[in-house]
Amino acid sequence: MSIQRAGAAGLRVQKLVSRTGLKPVRRPGALGAPAPLDQILIGDCIDSLNSLPEASVDLVFADPPYNLQLEGGLTRPDQSEVDAVDDDWDKFASFADYDRFTRDWLAAARRAMKPDATLFVIGSYHNIFRVGAILQDLGFWILNDIVWRKANPMPNFRGRRFTNAHETLIWASRSAKAKGYTFNYEALKAGNEDCQPRSDWFFPLCTGAERLKDENGRKVHPTQKPEALLARVIMSASKPGDVVLDPFFGTGTTGAVAKKLGRHFIGCERDPAYIEAAQKRIAAVEPLPEGACLTPVAKRQEKRVAFASLIEAGMIAAGAELFDDKKRWRVVVRADGALALGDIVGSIHKLGALVQGLPACNGWTFWRCMDKGGEISIDELRARYRATASEEE
C-alpha cells in the first residue's frame, strides 16, 4: 500500500524510510528548528522521535506495546476465538529486549520535550511497572499514577484470575525541577461539580461508531483507546495551541482529539493500514469553536495585584468600609492600602484573620464592599482590575 501526502485532507505525512527499505541515518533535530506540526512521521518510532527538534513538544501521550507475552490463542468457554492482541509489534524476544526498546523511546521522547512538558504513558500489569522504573532511571519525575477503570472490561474467560478491569497511566514531568508544567486544575474542578479531580477515571472501552472497522467489519486496531480518555489527558495537561506528541500513533485517536480541542499534534507510526485510517479520521474532525477550548488561568499564575492598586485605580475609595458577608465586622480602608479596626492597622489578610480569631485568612474572599450594583467581594474588584490591566497591555 503506498502512502501519499494527503493534501486534500489537510493532513501531511512525512516519510522517514528510504526507497530501498533500509533505515536512513537520522541526525537529531536541532534546538529551535520548526517542529513538523500536524503530521504523521512514518517509520521506526525511535528514528522519528530523534528527528524532532529538541525541546519542541508540550505534552506526550504514549500507548506503547504492552508485551502481553501471550502463549497460544485465547478462547471463550464456547471455544470461539477472542480477538486479542497478537500483532508482531507487541512481541519481544525477552524482557531485556523490551526494556531496551522502552529506554530508547523514552529517552528520545524526553529530548523532544520542552523543560516544562509532561508525559502520560499507559499500560497494563504486563508492562507498566517496567516502564515506570525506566522512567525514573532516565530522570523523569512521576506526578501521578492514574487508574482507568473500564466500564465494560473483557471477562476472564478461564476463571483463573480476577477480571482485568483497569489500565494504569503514569503522568510524569521531564525532571524533578520542572515546576511550571501545565495542570488545568481550576477547569477540571469546575467540570467535576467543584470537586478536586481524582486519579481514578471511569470510561468504557472504545466501542460502537467510534471503533474503526475495516471493510470486513474487523477492528482496524486491537487496542484503540476511547476519545474520552484522550480528551481528559489533553485537557488536563495542555493549552490550546500546544503541541501533543504521540510516539505510537496507531489509528490517530490522539491526533483527532488534539485537532478537535485546538491543539497541534505530531504522530509516529509505521503501519500503513493504521496511517491510512488515521488520515481519514483526522481529516473528518471539525475543531471546536475557540471559546469552547480556552482554559482559565490558574489562580497561582494570575498576575499579582496589591490591594492598594484598587485604591489607586479608583475602584475602592479611601475611607470606605469593608465588611464580611454576615456584616459582623467592619473595617475602614486607609489611603495607603491598609485597613483600620479602631486603633489596629493591618493588611486585608491580617485583619480578616484577627476578627475571626484564626491564624490566617484570604482577605480577598473574606471582605466585601458596596459597589454601584450593590455588595461585591473585593476579589471580584481584583478580577476587574486584572481585566482592565490586560486590555491596556
Residue 293 in 3-state DSSP?
helix
CA distances 139 to 78, 112, 178, 233, Å, are: 48, 14, 11, 22
Q: What is the DSSP letter of 298?
A: P
DSSP state at residue 152: S
Residue 297: HSE in the Cβ half-sphere, 13 Å Cα cutoff: 10
pTM over 0.85: no
Question: Half-sphere exposure of 201 toward its Cβ, with a 13 Å CA cutoff?
Answer: 24
pLDDT of residue 86: 53
**Average pLDDT along the chain, 393 residues, taken 10 residues at a time:** 39 48 48 85 94 96 82 49 51 86 97 97 94 97 96 82 93 94 91 90 86 82 88 96 96 95 96 92 93 68 84 94 96 95 95 96 95 90 83 53
Q: Which CATH superfamily groups domain 39-69+85-292? A: Vaccinia Virus protein VP39 (3.40.50.150)
Rg (CA), the chain: 27
Query: Residue 233: its pLDDT value, please?
Result: 97
Cβ neighbours of residue 99 closer than 8 Å, sequence gap 6 or more = 130, 134
Question: Residue 139 has what pLDDT?
Answer: 97
Three-state DSSP state, 222 = coil
Domain spans of the chain, in order of start: 39-69+85-292, 307-391
